[in-house]
Amino acid sequence: MNERLVLHLLRRSDTLTKAEATRATGLSANAVSMIFRKLEEEGFLLRGEPLRGRVGQPSIPMRLNPAARHYLGFKIGRHSYDAVIADFTGTVRARQTERHAYPTPASAEAFIRAAFPPLLRKARLRRSDIAAASVAMPGELWHWLDDFGAPHAEMAAWRDFDATAAFAQVLPGPISVENDATAACRAELIFGPDRRHRDSVYFFVGAFIGGGIVLNGSVFTGARGTSGGFGPMRIPDEPGGTRLVDHASLAVLERLVREGGHDPAALYGGQPGWDALEPVVGPWIARSARSLAHAVVSTLAVIDVEGVVIDGALPPSVRSRLVTEVREQFDLLDQQGVIRPKIDEGSFGSVARALGAAAYHISTDYMVDQNRFGR
């Protein structure tokens, strides 16, 4: 546990000296010295340049070793597959994606079976270098089918699909399965540049919309692993539906693009900022922002969080516009009883879910989760 605590602090602060670790943990200087030595010997830590100019021996800042471990993350999405190999600090060493009309267990297995060898070659790694693998996927893929036009008969195969068992035949190491939006939240928490907030909420705008909740500095998944499933949140006074997913989702944008006489495929391979679709994108951003602002207020009424992060499978310029509009819409709402949080952009966009899957075993094996104490 003390080794986890030191690794956790290093991930939060990037570098740490023994003196800083002693003050932060409350452990003795001798205990911290032994932990640093062991973690360095095991390849988890790298030494920085000594900090000179102070009284006594120069301090040596330590940092995480990116090559300490490598992980595979595989995202199964309603419109795409995405697989990455990431190192211990979150750098994506290799990535492979594939678009599809709708996912099936057979096509998911075929994709990862074909993608894994090229990923290893690109990352210059061997199979044995992968410490673990994780799959990020929406819950109950056999539901919500009418919203994205998938056939009920083929999607029903997901009901009895055991992802852990199926992918164990293809991928190395322990294999875990997690909700895709929760995984995206985990990527932001563990690898994102701003790790100051101990309590925050995270929204991810994908084919549908989901997210995650961070409490006490760790992702809070809830009793059934579905915390942060924001799609069904009720949204008042917005024509087109009463749920957040009826407004702030790419399924809605695709429909609007199609109704406007454009090809929705342009959302996934056209202009970086969706410039050609602007007559549709602008109103969708405004509609999504109004709905997200309501969702933020509703969330704050239940959980007092310091920060809100909004990300999605969006071009960076569109994400920036969306977050700016959410801030403005939030300020127009009745805020009695809630405290305005800091509302920021996410960091990873479309790769967040696969990267978060790769982060799963880092979180469970090398970090401290205070939400699990006493369970």
Fold of 2-64: Arc Repressor Mutant, subunit A (1.10.10)
pLDDT value for 373: 60
Residue ranges covered by each domain of the chain: 2-64, 69-184+354-372, 194-346
Contact between residue 198 and residue 251 where contact means Cβ atoms under 8 Å apart: no
Return phi, psi of residue 298, to 5°. -60, -40
Same fold, 2-64 and 194-346: no
Distance (Å, whole) CA 349 – CA 9: 26
Q: Is 35 exposed, middle or buried (0-12, 13-18, 19+ CB in 10 A)?
A: buried
CA angle 67, 171, 356 (to 5 degrees): 60
Distance (Å, whole) CA 127 – CA 115: 13
Q: Pick one of 3.40.50.720, 3.40.50.20, 3.30.930.10, 3.30.420.40 as the CATH number of 194-346.
A: 3.30.420.40
Residues in the chain predicted with pLDDT less than 70, given as ranges, are 52-58, 144-149, 195-196, 269-271, 373-375
Tracing tokens 């454009």 back to the chain, one arrives at 262
pLDDT value for 267: 87
What pTM value is reported for the model? 0.93
DSSP annotation of 222? -
pLDDT value for 145: 59
pLDDT value for 369: 86
Contact between residue 150 and residue 144 where contact means Cβ atoms under 8 Å apart: no
pLDDT value for 263: 87
pLDDT value for 226: 83
Tracing tokens 């924001």 back to the chain, one arrives at 230
Instruction: Tell me yes or no: is domain 69-184+354-372 CATH 3.20.20.210.
Output: no
pLDDT value for 110: 96
**143 Cβ neighbours under 8 A, 6+ residues apart:** none
The tokens for 156 are 């029903």
Q: Are strands 130-137 and 175-179 parallel, antiparallel or unpaired?
A: parallel
pLDDT value for 362: 96
